[in-house]
Amino acid sequence: MTICYFDAFSGIAGDMTVGALLDAGASAEALMAALDSLNTGASFAVEKTRRRGITASKFHVRVAAARHSHRHLHSILEMIDAAALAPRARGHARKIFTTLGEAEAAVHGVPVEKVHFHEVGAVDSIADIVGVSVALDLLGVDAVESSAVNTGGGTVKTEHGILPVPAPATALLLKGCPVYARGPEMELTTPTGAAILAALAQRFGPMPALRIASIGYGAGDRDFAEHANVLRCIIGHASGAAESTLISVIEANLDDASPQVLGYALDRLMAAGALDVSLSPVTMKKNRPGTLLRVLASPGDQEKLAELVFAETPTLGLRIYPAERRVQARSFAEVRTEWGPVRIKVAANGEFAPEYEDCRVLAEKSGVPLRKILAEAGFLYRKTIE
C-alpha cells in the first residue's frame, strides 16, 4: 500500500499541498491538463523556490477578473464532474469540497445548498482541491496520513471581518485531530488545507513505518525567520509494522488504594475503551510501597479515561504525555477443537497465539483445563501451516 504522509509542522494550505505533491514526483504536465479541463479561466504555474534554505515547489493560480460574485457548492461539483479527471481523483475532489461546504454551512448556520464561495477564492480552492486530488492519483496513493497540525495563532482578516486563528471553519474541520499553535502569529492552516485532511486523512500521529519512495516540499507564501514555511509530504510503501494513532499515557502513583479498588478500576478503564491498563509495584517517598497505574489511551479517549481514574482511585494528580505505539499487522484464523472453535491471532512475522477468551469460554463449558485447550488449539493451527 502506498501512503502519503503530510508533515504539517508549518500548517497546511491548498497551494502548499499541490506544491509538495508535485515536488514528490507528480507529473506537472498531467496535473495542469486536468486543471485546464475545469474551464475556470485561470492559469497555473509551478516554480522552484527556497524557504529557510530548503528547496520547495510553489504552486501558483492566476485568476482573471471575477465574472460572478460567487459560486455555490453545487455548481462547483458540476464543474468537477464535467472535467477530464480520473474516477479516483474526481471522488477525492468531490469529497473534499463537500466536507469544506458542510463546515462552512455549520459555521454560518445555513443549509449546505446555500453555501457560496466568492469568485476569486472559489477558483483558488477549485484549483488547489482538484490539483491535490489529481496529484494523489498520479502518485498512486492509497492512503493519506498526517502529523499533528500547526494551526498558527493570532487573527486573520476575512470577508466576515477579523477572526481568531484557527478560523471557525478550520477549527471545525480539525475537530478530533491533534493540533497545536507555534511560530508567527498568523494563519498557517487554511480552511482548504484543513478540508483536505478532514476528508482524506485516515490517521494523525507519528510517521508510519514506511519504505520511503519520494519526498516533496510545498512552499507557503511567506518566508519566516522562525522556521521553514513548507509542507513536507513523504510518499512510501507500508512495511510489515502498522502504526496506531498517537496515544496518550496516563499515570498515577497510588499508595492508599486497596487491591479491590485497583482491580475494579482496571476493569472500568478497560470497559471504557483503554488500549491497555497495567498495575506495577513501586516504592514511593518515605519508603512507602505503592502501585503505579498506567493507562494507554487513544487521544480521543484521554479526558474520559482521566476523569475515570480520578473517580475510581484516591489519586489527586495524574501525569499525561504522548507516546508512539507501534504494533505488527495481525490477522485471524480459526481452528476447530473437539470442544469448539478457537480463533488464532497471527502476526505478520508468523508468530501466533490462540485467542484467550475463546479458550476460556470452552474451558468453562467443558470442564477441561484451560492449558489443555490452549495447547490443542495451537497444535491444530501449526498443522495447517506446516
Q: 319-363: per-residue pLDDT in tens? A: 999 887 777 777 889 999 999 999 999 987 889 999 999 999 999
Give pLDDT, residue 245: 58
Give pLDDT, residue 331: 85
Give pLDDT, residue 243: 46
CB crowding 234-250: b at 16 or more within 10 Å, else e:
bbbebeeeebbbbbbbb
What confidence category does residue 240 fall into, taking pLDDT thresholds of 50, 70 and 90? low
Which segment of 176-190, 230-244, 313-327 scores lowest on mean pLDDT? 230-244
- As a residue count, the chain comes to 386
Percent of the chain with pLDDT over 70: 96
Q: Which residue has the higher pLDDT, 372 or 210?
A: 372
Grid coordinates belonging to 38:
475545469
- pLDDT tens readout for residues 201-229: 998 888 887 889 999 999 999 999 889 99
Q: Which residue has the higher pLDDT, 121 or 301?
A: 301
**How far apart are alpha carbons 1 and 329 in whole angstroms?**
13
What is the residue-averaged pLDDT of the chain? 91
Question: At 186, is the secondary structure helix, strand, or coil?
Answer: coil
**How far apart are alpha carbons 59 and 56 in whole angstroms?**
10
Angle at 193 between CA 224 and CA 206, to 5 degrees: 80
H helices of the chain, in order, are 14-23, 28-36, 73-82, 87-108, 119-138, 168-173, 191-200, 259-271, 302-312, 356-366, 370-385
Q: Position 86: which residue type?
A: A
CATH superfamily of 247-327: Transcriptional regulatory protein pf0864 domain like (3.30.70.1380)
Long-range contacts at 331-340 (CB < 8 A, ≥ 24 apart): 333/381, 333/384, 335/377, 335/380, 335/381, 335/384, 336/380, 337/362, 337/373, 337/376, 337/377, 337/380, 338/376, 339/365, 339/366, 339/368, 339/373, 340/365, 340/366
- Is residue 17 predicted with pLDDT exceeding 70? yes
Which segment of 105-109, 250-254, 266-270 scores lowest on mean pLDDT? 105-109
Answer whether 17's CB lies under 8 Å from 132's CB: yes
Grid coordinates belonging to 254:
497510588
**How far apart are alpha carbons 140 and 135 in whole angstroms?**
9
- pLDDT tens readout for residues 179-202: 999 988 999 999 999 999 999 999
Q: Which residues contact 143 (CB under 8 A, 6 or more apart)?
A: 1, 2, 3, 4, 202
- Is residue 299 predicted with pLDDT exceeding 80? no
Give pLDDT, residue 324: 78
Tell whether pTM > 0.85. no
- pLDDT tens readout for residues 134-164: 999 999 999 999 999 999 999 888 777 788 9
Residue given cell 520511503 in the structure block: 212
Answer whether 174's CB lies under 8 Å from 196's CB: no
**For the purposes of burial, counting CB atoms within 10 Å of the CB of 50, is it exposed (0-12), middle (13-18) or buried (19 or more)?**
middle
Between the CA of residue 271 and those of 234, 252, 307, 343, what are the distances in Å?
37, 19, 14, 22
Domain ranges of the chain: 2-242, 247-327, 330-385
Q: Position 285: which residue type?
A: K
CA 286 to chain centre: 44
Give pLDDT, residue 69: 53
- pLDDT tens readout for residues 27-82: 999 999 999 999 988 999 999 999 999 999 999 998 876 554 578 888 899 999 99
